[in-house]
Structure 1
């Protein structure tokens, strides 16, 4: 297949397009509304123009290259994610995918690549995935989607995302359905590997990761960044440095490291909180790079067609539409199995110890909950809390200076 010319809607910080470009394709236009994300795009893709509002369809259509033949859309997951509002398309953010459908009606693209969270196929009976797929079918597209885990590409982050590819010509399975590897499932002792978890949880869940971090988040339902914690084999608990968070997304270290003075559009302060949000929302570069290679060097998929999906069936992890019938396909989330890097070995920075306040709150929740935890985990959290209390006490003593007795 030839090189694709990409129009990137909801460009974010360019993770999806960076992977596609590494595979040989090129981006001719971004569309992104977030001021700090625009700063990153203009710094990292200096030759690519940026439109600022997907809702300004007339302006957008005029700026799209006549040669552009691939529309990408990693649209906002805010209203679909379990960590978000779960309001669906009534929430005002995730419903912006409708603007993409309107754009396709105005300016057809022969190929479309969309990305979002797995909860897209579950939330409210799967009605929001059903709406988008139905709209694509009405426009004449055949489609295939598959849930893919970033861990398959050697990165110690458990990150499941739905990738949906739609095309007006050819078989969409040729891009997404090649490769199906069953990963080794093993339980690792706490002192033999680093384990990731969310210290903001602990009542109904934990977001646990064996030798990996759980899915990086852009933020909580109230928009506050929520970095995971890591229990190191030494039993220290840290939050990872932003440099390593960028690397976990397949980005180069410092991809979002720009000062406020570098901002090219108006907006809030470009600080660590904003960087966390941007990186947590990014599309993983390693996954998009794999898709880019499948687009560039397309090979015929010769697997089984799958089982017919009825209107009452729930959406499976992988499915496709041949132009007439929707079908369920039994595919796992690992299309490849690249050598997995250990989490402790992957980290290039020591990280920041989880604070007393954060640890104390988490420790209280896990002791009050009915959840089952890995043997030794609760004790490790308690030891970290006591260690931080001792360190804080020592620092306060030093700040006050030497204690003088009356005799002195």
Structure 2
């Protein structure tokens, strides 16, 4: 192929190859435009497909057969994404469908509400708080705040560890464990509580916790190991951190004493991620490993973080707008005809073994991958 392609010809080629799942031509685009999209690739169209898919499926158990005993965190964050997407396009019918899915938790399915004794369970509270924001029905607020307050309440329950009391005494949540995943799970809930009430304590909690995690875990290159004893930059783990910082900074008051520290951590991470984005717009399962495979959940989370930064003016429009556009167009080429995202890394425990990460299963329709599509669509549609 010649290096120079006329704009009209390039658009034609992009359009035709999109439906074949090709991504290479998208990556050649130098556009930083986050508003105008080739046919079939707009955030409204893609978000609508993925949200409809979420509404249609039953509660899921980490992509395993059979229903879960309680709602899992991938479902919680996809539900939250579907709700924010519905709001972004003014689709009250979709909001009602998502609320109807929630209604059994006030009755027959109450036992499926996760016990709020762990960060992965507590993020469920972001869903009723978003329903409250959109419906103003107090029953959602009461449920969501009870979970947000329990997260910072006295340590209680079978998951309490000796260090839990020490964290609690220093003003951190007793659920602190210094896993990078936490910085989305905790932030999503506490930021939602702040957005729902305007009570400063909630955003202060999230900011204090974020600074602690940044100081303890961020490396000199801006990225994060999966764990202190696992020196690998696992894509989705870092994705949770990127998305969590974007969520927090979106609501953190400009004069907040912790804002500058969090912004630095966020911008350092975004600058590092630029270096590892593939020509197809994707990021790999192990971010800095060229032999790793392109992974969709991490790509979605990094793309969301960059879109959010460009929209808010935290990141350079030209540089990061290009990266975000490439990320979106590359990512959506992994959506199949059922509106399921492919090549989603299965749930992963830590292990100090490179091959372990390279060999992880590539799931299809896993809500770890569906959720960031919805977050990206919402962010792209925001003003």
When normalised by structure 2's length, the TM-score is: 0.28
Higher strand fraction (1 or 2): 1
Higher helix fraction (1 or 2): 2
When normalised by structure 1's length, the TM-score is: 0.26
Say which one has the larger Rg: 1
